[in-house]
Amino acid sequence: MSMWFTENQTANFGITAKIKQTLATVKTDFQELQMIETEEWGNMLVLDDMVMTTERDEFVYHEMVAHVPLFTHPNPKHILVVGGGDGGVIREVLKHPSVEKAVLVEIDGQVIEYSKKFLPSIAGTLDDPRVEVKVDDGFLYIANSKREFDVIMVDSTEPVGPAVNLFTEGFYSGIKDALKDDGIFVAQTDNPWFKADLIHQVYHDVKKIFPVTKLYTANIPTYPSGLWTFTMGSKIHDPLKVKPERFHEIETKYYTPELHTASFALPRFVSDLLK
């Protein structure tokens, strides 16, 4: 008898994956965590029945969260990642030689623990000496940080449970205060097929606070609809005005300098959400 995991992405639609075995199931202080070995996507991290990452397609999300802002900023040294306990964004951040320190703030320490155990190709750089890992509330951490970071990346779950506060105008205002004078932040902002209202709200909340506000996309097959958006807020630097010499060679599977620019070219139904 075959076993299948299904994520119901709406009341009427979902995706399903054939399971080899369930590696772990635990109820943390914040959510239900599962590690599942799948036939198609390798090991998969699931939180509250939502796919967070898989071994096969994780590189798309993590590269696009990290490299777009890090190549936009001329000299990113101090980086903050809010959420992202699987370690994938940190792994990509550390590919930039200018980075001196990367702080990871994850509210659920068991996400870090189980990712190290079952997703070592993703979480393997969390022990790097440049990384400081804090098990803490990212919202409160941001509120207590002032002009500390060059780039802040919000790698959160969807706006449910402990991540609800990470999709508010007050949080984005706190991020502005936590950034240096030429700082940049980026947040994952879900998909335009099922969460159009969320994208519209976040974009306009960020636009109230940051002089440069942009939306970009990537294709991530295990996320709802496969089309994913990221919202960037910048105090000064425009991601579409990066000088060619700024792009240095790094090892990637998805991100390229050409894609950096192309990802901001939006389908009309997505750009209409920003009006």
Token pair for 201:
């709200």
Question: Which parts of 28-70 are beta strand (E)?
Answer: 32-38, 42-47, 50-54
Q: Is 145 annotated as a binding residue?
A: no
Q: Is 157 annotated as a binding residue?
A: yes
Q: Is 16 annotated as a binding residue?
A: no
Alpha carbon distance 92, 48 (integer Å): 26
Q: Is 137 annotated as a binding residue?
A: yes
Q: Is 156 annotated as a binding residue?
A: yes
Q: Is 110 annotated as a binding residue?
A: no
Q: Is 155 annotated as a binding residue?
A: yes
205 is catalytic: no
Q: Is 162 annotated as a binding residue?
A: yes
The DSSP element (H or E) to which 255 belongs, if any, is none
Alpha carbon distance 157, 50 (integer Å): 9
Cβ neighbors of 144 (< 8 A, separation 6 or more) are: none
Q: Is 197 annotated as a binding residue?
A: no
Nearest residue to 163 (alpha-carbon basis) of 134, 131, 188: 188
Contact 247, 241 (CB under 8 A): no
Strands 42-47 and 14-27: unpaired
Q: State the catalytic residue, choosing from 57, 155, 190, 205.
A: 155
Which are the catalytic amino acids?
155
Residues contributing to the annotated binding site for spermidine: 62, 86, 155-158
Residues contributing to the annotated binding site for S-methyl-5'-thioadenosine: 31, 106, 137-138, 162
Residues contributing to the annotated binding site: 31, 62, 86, 106, 137-138, 155-158, 162
